Amino acid sequence: MGTVRLAVGVPTAMKVRRLSIDFSGTPAHWAAVPEFAQMMNASSLWIPPLERFLNQVMARAAGTLKDDDPQTARIRADVRTFIRQESNHYAMHGAFNAVLPNNGYDVKEFELLFEAEFKKLLSTKSLPFLCAYCEGFETLGPPSALIWLDEIGDLLEGARPEVIKLWKWHLMEEYEHRAVCHDVYHAVHGGYFLRVYGMFFHYFQMAHFTGMVLNRLLMRDRQDLTRAQVKASRRRTRRVALRIAWLTWSRALKALSPFYTPRKAREPQMFRSYMAAIEAELA
């Protein structure tokens, strides 16, 4: 087991916020740019099995931390809050994911595949690797929070408010608990190369998952379009995908530094105001 190494920075102050959002009338093309909507729909489909997996790994890892020092006690407390936040996230994304079958898209095979893949990881990989994988996913939280809270207002113009609320709430909390998996990984193992390997393993697996679903969704969307319309759709898809990838990886690649700590990740300008709005709504 590695030494617990908490990065210097502002201590995490996490809260569990359970929202109620109705997606019963949400269309699959909930944004003005349908390819952007489908990209997020495809990504959302693997979030419930992934975040159940995160919770299982974090609970397993926290159970191995036997020291009674204050830092270890803090990690265990953070893991408990993390698990409750992630449980809310995957429950809400599960409700949102019903938008696809409700709009005639058959995605059941993908949901079963994703569940099987995470079950396989849990049963075949070591705890240090599993923690590195989880930390790799959480590396994308702060960049994604910046994107959604500050940087893609044009893509969200005219979008359904319930979907905007889902993603902004989720990613606001991803930024808030950004250091939990990092701290657990350093408590369990801490090695640089395994951490980086876990990060890229996760990224390529999730890119593959998203790509499979997105291709299926767009194939159906384009089946009645003219050749010119299909060409325009492909152009919009490339433009949005490249923009999101650049905004994400221009920040996430900072995790390649041996001195990386998520506590130094830039806070979104709208982070505190959005948090205050959500908490006022729940009060």
For residue 171, give the DSSP letter: H
Residue 2 lies in a domain: no
Domain count, the chain: 1
Of 134, 164, 178, 184, residue with least CA distance to 268: 178
Residue 18 lies in a domain: no
- pLDDT per residue rounded down to tens, the chain (283 residues): 444 333 333 444 799 999 999 999 999 999 999 999 999 999 999 999 999 999 999 999 999 998 888 999 999 999 999 999 999 999 999 999 999 999 999 999 999 999 999 999 999 999 999 999 999 999 999 999 999 999 999 999 999 999 999 999 999 999 999 999 999 999 999 999 999 999 999 999 999 999 999 999 999 999 999 999 999 999 999 999 999 999 999 999 999 999 999 999 999 999 999 999 999 999 8
CA 83 to chain centre: 14
In this structure, what token pair is assigned to residue 123?
Answer: 């049963």
Residue 20 lies in a domain: no
Residue 224 lies in a domain: yes
Residue 8 lies in a domain: no
Domain of residue 117 covers: 34-277
Residue 94 lies in a domain: yes
Three-state SS for 165? helix
Q: CB-hemisphere CA count at 13 Å for 83?
A: 16
Residue 118 lies in a domain: yes
CA 181 to chain centre: 13
Residue 19 lies in a domain: no
